[in-house]
Structure 1
Amino acid sequence: WGEFYAAEDYAVGTEINAALNRTFGGSWYVVLGSALASFSSSVVNAFFNHILSSVVKSGGFKSFAFRSYLSTLIAQFADNCIFALVVSKVFFGWTWTQVFVCSAVAAVFELLCEVVFSGLGWRVVCGWEKENVGAEYFDYRKKIAGTYAE
């Protein structure tokens, strides 16, 4: 994916610049795959979170966790799968088994990270709600929404 060089092995300027050019020139497919995967998984996550929020009524941390965990698992699988298809399968010749297994394992790991940190995040946001952090922003949004409704 990139080049390793020791500065003393290259003529200053020419070879180092050539090595950098080859590194950045050869990574366009990683940027493309990552951007496509990130955008797609954001849409998938928002879609599933919205659908699940209409099925599961708001009821504190448990309903938040259910919605978030399930939508994250699905979206992260989509993210990993798209990236693996665009980058690893096309450019490195991965098999379908490698694409799906790697995507599933990484999605489960990412879900576990969310499970570990979501309780803390929930407590922080609840604290902000009690302290009215962001109230001005929400009031502003309501005002703008009222303006558009008129």
Structure 2
Amino acid sequence: MSEEKKHYQRPLNFKTGKVEMNFGAGGKASAQLIADLFAKNFSNEFLDQGDDGARLPQPKGELIMATDSHVVSPIFFAGGDIGGLSIHGTVNDVAVCGATPLYISCGFILEEGFPLSDLKRIVESMAAAAKEAGVKIVTGDTKVVERGKADG
């Protein structure tokens, strides 16, 4: 096998492809999903460091931190989707504490078989919402659960 073929990865099919278990396993498929979807849409100087965490400048004054989780059905609804909701909801939690939101960490729990086209749409919505809110998505994590173990 040629050196070129040995390192070949099939492109992610964002039109008809589905989430696979190996996307959350930390190997080549995970790296490809991160590079081709998350890093491409969320790119900034902190995320691009490529670490499991984010090295951020220390702000002056008090630091406010919030965690927010969202489960909605359907995930796409009139006026938005779970992606935009997740960013705006988290930004709001920090803002109501009197702070200026700067950074966000995102955790993805994906179900095997979830359409990559829907995941791409959600990620693009998150990127747009983060830009609109003036925050940077600086780190995250992805896990994939078996088909039927999450609500889609």
Higher share in helix: 1
Tell which structure's C-alpha radius of gyration is larger.
Answer: 1
Q: TM-score, normalised by structure 2?
A: 0.22
Question: Of Structure 1 and Structure 2, which has the larger fraction of its residues in strand?
Answer: 2
Higher relative contact order (CA 8 A, sep 6+): 2
